[in-house]
């Protein structure tokens, strides 16, 4: 059984690819810890494999495995020939189908927020990383919950949706949980970084608005269920949120936490010591 994903839709793979400059993300967050030469790298929650492809471009000699809970999205790929070199596996992030110590680097990007049993998933990521190897956890804090101003119409749309998401195991504050999760998994030498992620101040950029409109359209079935009404209720909620993004007074934001740790050389070692922190 795979981890349920809230945005299952045939358009989701394309949305995931379009919303990030994968090569820039790899340079910024993974390049310092990528293995040199023919190392082994695992992307947990890889989606169509767009970040994993960027890892291959950065380290052509590496063996890169893209792992995702949806075999159809994973198999669809990005259409980029570079994806042909990826090793692809689908399954459950809480029970990774790899031997202990199989990889030099394991990372997840925006996956853990959807996993109710996050501690188990991070423990699995640590298990399949070799002693001395690195684990990188990247996730959001404040997604869908930090907005201003919030009038009655926006509040009436947001509250039921966030409550429905919480019932599925989704946590909008996963980012701040990563440090404790990494410690519990026995990772050492923890480094913590915090960066802006969503930051909309004033009227939203038209290109970014299109991305939000697609995201909300994919989420319409979930929104309708959360509101307990007909499809028209979801349509109205989407209109209200897009009107918020179109306002000159809008502030909508979230931050991204990155926690990087090392798998202990001695089996069973427990993480300790203070983390380093960088905030930009």
Provide CB contacts within 8 A for 112, sequence distance 6+: 45, 118, 121, 122, 137, 139, 174, 177, 178, 181
Whole-prediction pTM value?
A: 0.87
Query: 97-142: per-residue pLDDT in tens?
Result: 999 999 999 999 999 998 989 999 999 999 999 999 999 999 999 9
Dump pLDDT digits (tens) for 6-47: 556 666 667 777 778 999 999 999 999 999 888 999 999 999
Beta-bridge partners for 195:
256
Query: Each residue of 77-100: pLDDT tens digit?
Result: 887 877 788 999 999 999 999 999
170 vs 39, more confident? 39
Q: Which residues of 67-83 are buried (b: 16+ CB within 10 A; e: fewer)?
A: bbbbeebbebbbebebb
Q: What's the pLDDT at 167?
A: 83
Kindly give, in sequence order, each residue whose CB lies less than 8 Å from that of residue 94, ignoring residues fewer than 6 positions away.
Answer: 3, 115, 117, 120, 121, 124
Task: Evaluate if residue 269 carries a pLDDT over 90.
Answer: no
Residue 13: the pLDDT is 66
């Amino acid at each position: 059984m795979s981890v349920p994903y809230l945005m299952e839709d045939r358009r989701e793979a394309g949305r995931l690819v379009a919303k990030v400059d994968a090569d820039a993300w790899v340079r910024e967050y993974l390049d310092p810890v990528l293995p040199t030469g023919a190392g082994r790298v695992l992307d947990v929650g890889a989606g169509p494999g767009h970040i994993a492809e960027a890892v291959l471009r950065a380290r052509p000699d590496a063996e890169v495995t893209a792992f995702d809970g949806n075999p159809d999205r994973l198999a669809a790929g990005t259409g980029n020939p570079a994806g042909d070199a990826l090793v692809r596996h689908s399954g459950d992030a809480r029970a990774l189908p790899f031997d202990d110590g199989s990889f030099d680097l394991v990372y997840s990007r925006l996956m853990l927020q959807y996993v109710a049993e996050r501690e188990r998933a991070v423990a699995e990521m640590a298990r399949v990383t070799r002693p001395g190897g690195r684990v990188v956890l990247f996730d959001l804090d404040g997604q869908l919950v930090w907005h201003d101003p919030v009038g009655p119409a926006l509040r009436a749309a947001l509250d039921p949706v966030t409550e429905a998401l919480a019932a599925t195991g989704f946590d909008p504050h996963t980012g701040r949980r990563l440090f404790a999760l990494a410690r519990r998994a026995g990772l050492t030498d923890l480094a913590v970084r915090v960066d802006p992620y969503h930051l909309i101040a004033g009227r939203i950029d038209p290109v970014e608005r299109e991305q939000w409109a697609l995201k909300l359209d994919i989420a319409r079935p979930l929104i309708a269920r959360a509101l307990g009404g007909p499809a028209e209720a979801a349509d109205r909620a989407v209109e209200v949120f897009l009107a918020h993004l179109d306002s000159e007074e809008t502030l909508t934001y979230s931050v991204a936490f990155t926690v990087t740790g090392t798998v202990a050389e001695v089996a069973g070692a427990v993480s300790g010591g203070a983390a380093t922190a960088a905030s930009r």
